[in-house]
Structures are given as C-alpha cells and as structure tokens.
Amino acid sequence: MDVSNLPLLELFTRLQDAGLPLGIDEYKLVLKSLQGGFGIRDKAALKRLCQTLWVKSNEEKALFEFHFEEVIGGEDIASNSKKSVKKFYNKNFVKKLPNQFNKFWNYASLFFIIIGIGFALKFIFVDTQQVQKAPQQPVQNQDVVMINSINLALIFIGTSIPIYVVYQQIFKRNREERIAQKKIVKSTIPLESTQIVEDEIQVVQAVLQSMIKNQKIIDYRFILSGNLFPVTERQMKHNWRYLRRMMREGQMTELDVEATVEQIGRQGLLLSPVFVPRLVNKVELLLLIDQDGSMVPFHALSRRFKETLLGGRHLGKVGVYYFHNCPGDYLYNDPSHQKAELISNILNYEGSDRTEVLIFSDAGAARGGYSEERFNLTREFISKLQKRVRYIAWLNPVPKERWSGTTALDIARLAPMFEVSRRGMQNAINVLQGREYG
C-alpha cells in the first residue's frame, strides 16, 4: 500500500464537515502513528487506525465507514466494478463477435454454394441442350440465340426458385436462430452479470446498511455531512451546558473547610466538621415542539434539539411535549399527538418555580401570512404560561428576515423569539437563565 499518496486529508475534512469533533491535532496523530509503523500494512489496518483515532462513538463509526469507503476504499470498489464490467463485455461481446463473423461466413458460403449450384445446373442444362441440339447444327444463329435466351430464362427461373426457397428457409431459420439467440442471451446474461449486479448491490447495500444500521444515521446523513443546519450538534450540546442553576441539594457529603474553621474559632475546638450538600443542577426545562404541518421540514432539527438535550443528562428535569401550530389546552407526549395531557396538569405536577419553557415553532412564519386566530391563541397560551413559569424563550427555525408580515412578528412581542442559529440559541439560553441578551 502506498502510504505517501493517501487522500487522508480529504477523508479528514469530510469527517470534520460531517460533524466529528476533530482538530488538526487528530490529523497529526494519524501521521505520527503512520510514521510509528501503525496502520501501514494494508487498507484494513489503515482503516482501523483512522477509526481508533478519529471515531468516538458507534454513530460516528457508521459515518466514518461510509466516508472511508468513498474516499479511500472507493477507488478499489470503482476499479473492481470496472474490471468486472470489462470481464462482462469480454465474455458476452468479444466472444460473440467471432460467432457473428462465423455466421456471416456461413451465410456467405451458403449463398455462394447456391449460386455455384445454380451455375452448375445451368451448365448441365446448356450442355444437355447443346448435346441434344448437336445433330441440328445447321440451325440458324438467331434461333440458337433465342433458344439460348429461353434456356437462360428457364435456367434463371429454375435456379432462382430453389434459391428463393432455400433463401427463405435460411432467412426463417436465421430469424428463428436470432430469436433463440436473444433468448439465450437473455438467459445467459443474468448468469454472468448477476455476479456483477450482485456485487454492485452488495456495495450499495454495504453503504446503505452502514447508514441504516443506526436509524438515527438516516436523518443525520444530510445534516451531518451537508452542514445544512444553522446550529451543529456540537454547538447545541455546548449551549445546553450553559443552562444551569446550581443548588446544594441531597446528602451532606462535601466538607466545608471555611465553615469548619470558623466553627472552631467560635467554639474553641473541633467538635465536628461542617458538611454541605453537593451542588447539583436544578434547571427544569420544558421543551415544547411544534410538530407537523409547516414544521415538517424542521422535524429533523427539533429531534436533534431533543436528543442533544436529553443525551447530556445534566439538567434537573427535562420534559419534551409536542403541539400543532399553537398549543391549546393540551400538549402531547409524543410526536404523533397520541397521548394528550392537560397543560395545567403538566405545570402542576412537573412544574415548579424553577421551570423554564423553550418553545420551538415557526409561529406561522414558514407558511407566511397573518392569522388573527393563531395570534390570539398563542397570546392566551403565553399569558397562561407566564403566570406559572419564570422564563419563556422561543426558537424559530425560520430566519428573522422572513418574520415580517407574518404572525411570527407579533408573537415575537409576546415572548422573546430568536431564529435558530448559534447566536439565537445562545440568546434563548440567556433568556432562560434570566440574563441579558443581545
């Protein structure tokens, strides 16, 4: 394997674009390892090396495999399939060419034989006639010419009929043969080409399987590799981490040295050390997601929000609920709006004075136009919410410049609304944290 000529940098940038947390150090690590003699044995070893250094989870592995096949493994697959196609051509066409030549010569020779037979017949006829006419030598030349021409015509007709018959026969047979051959070709091509077709299907399957293996990957395929999202997965995770309200809660496990010393100062001797509970994050977040309708294009984005939020597991409590267009009296536990729950119930049982609400909805900006009803319903909902929760923020997947002239612009006055971008998400988190934003 030629190590000096590997498209490693391309693979690296592709993976980086796909959202893998890779820095230039990680690239250098691969080079260092290659210099150290790792991963140079063959392609599989190189793949394992890159995988160990660059891939950090099973989801990333599927992505890595896909890109590795495309960038480095891809060449092999392409040349393989080219080879097999060539083989296919060789087997089916190059070998058939002589066959067709043969057939042509067969027909040609048949034709010549027939003509030959015709001539032979003619000569025989002429000879016999000449033999027959030999005693009548003194017949006039004109007669001879006439007789000859009649003879010729006779001969022509006599020979052309069998030739025609033979030709018909041959043509028919030829046609039958051709059809039969087509049939044979039809039945032989699969025999030989199934191998290739199968191979190619396997390649496709391999690619697809690596995508399908993890259901999430299908959705990630475009998102991760295309960088289509205004906020990457990393940025989302990063932003969620700012969402914190640390409080001391639980068992007294941490020694408070300062308080202990102070206590000794007061009491004159150490009676018992002072312990305090640990700091824990008590943020309680309700993520309300607008689902279906005009939000269909943003489902992948909302799902990503939800996954990154739940994956971190650092918040006190997270509730994810769904609604359609604008929340009425009910919110739904599932994206398909099957399990409904009264909003008042959610707030009563799950909510507390620490609860924060983040709404993810286009607020009518995706479809455009102004809906009085939507605005009124939303206003009602927000005012109901504001009585119970301290902070509400709104993330709108539609860019801000498209809010004007739609309900979104008015709804933005009810609750701080931000477009989905890194800055927008930061601002929304700031609002939820009770900080200033801008």
- CB-based contacts of 405: which residues, under 8 Å, 6+ apart? 368, 369, 370
Among 8, 13, 26, 166, binds other proteins (CB under 8 A): 26
At its nearest, how many Å lie between other proteins and the CB of residue 42? Answer: 12
Residue range at the interface with other proteins (CB under 8 A); choices 22-30, 128-136, 366-374, 429-437: 22-30
The C-alpha atoms of residue 111 and residue 107 are separated, in whole angstroms, by 6
CB of 320 closer than 8 Å to CB of 250: no
Q: Torsion-angle region of residue 256: left (phi > 0), alpha (psi -120 to 50) or beta?
A: beta
Tell whether residue 436 is a contact of other proteins (CB under 8 A). Answer: no
- Site residues for other proteins, window 88-147 (CB under 8 A)? none
- DSSP structure string for 375-436: HHHHHHHHHHHHTT-SEEEEEESS-GGG-TTSHHHHHHHHS-EEESSHHHHHHHHHHHTT--
Tell whether residue 402 is a contact of other proteins (CB under 8 A). Answer: no
Among 13, 16, 33, 352, binds other proteins (CB under 8 A): 33
The sign of the CA dihedral 231, 234, 237, 239 is negative
At its nearest, how many Å lie between other proteins and the CB of residue 223? Answer: 17
- Closer residue to other proteins, CB minimum distance, 51 or 151: 51
- Closer residue to other proteins, CB minimum distance, 56 or 82: 56
- Site residues for other proteins, window 244-303 (CB under 8 A)? 253, 255, 257, 260-261, 264, 269-270, 273, 278
- DSSP structure string for 77-127: HHHHHHHHHHHHHIIIIITHHHHHHHHHHHHHHHHHHHHHHHHHHHHHHHH
Tell whether residue 21 is a contact of other proteins (CB under 8 A). Answer: yes
- Site residues for other proteins, window 300-319 (CB under 8 A)? 311-314
Among 45, 85, 204, 208, binds other proteins (CB under 8 A): 45
The C-alpha atoms of residue 277 and residue 117 are separated, in whole angstroms, by 117
Tell whether residue 55 is a contact of other proteins (CB under 8 A). Answer: yes
- Closer residue to other proteins, CB minimum distance, 201 or 310: 310
At its nearest, how many Å lie between other proteins and the CB of residue 63? Answer: 13
Residue range at the interface with other proteins (CB under 8 A); choices 131-139, 196-204, 233-241, 374-382: 233-241
At its nearest, how many Å lie between other proteins and the CB of residue 360? Answer: 20
Structure tokens at 298: 């943003």
- Closer residue to other proteins, CB minimum distance, 192 or 219: 219
Helices and strands in the chain, H and E counts: 15, 9
At its nearest, how many Å lie between other proteins and the CB of residue 385? Answer: 28
The C-alpha atoms of residue 404 and residue 368 are separated, in whole angstroms, by 9
Using CA atoms of 259, 260, 264, 269 in order, give the dihedral in degrees to the nearest 10: 160
The C-alpha atoms of residue 57 and residue 269 are separated, in whole angstroms, by 54
The C-alpha atoms of residue 356 and residue 429 are separated, in whole angstroms, by 10
- Closer residue to other proteins, CB minimum distance, 27 or 418: 27
Tell whether residue 38 is a contact of other proteins (CB under 8 A). Answer: yes
> Which residues contact other proteins by CB under 8 A?
21-23, 25-26, 29, 32-33, 36, 38, 45, 48-49, 51-53, 55-58, 61, 234, 237, 241, 253, 255, 257, 260-261, 264, 269-270, 273, 278, 311-314
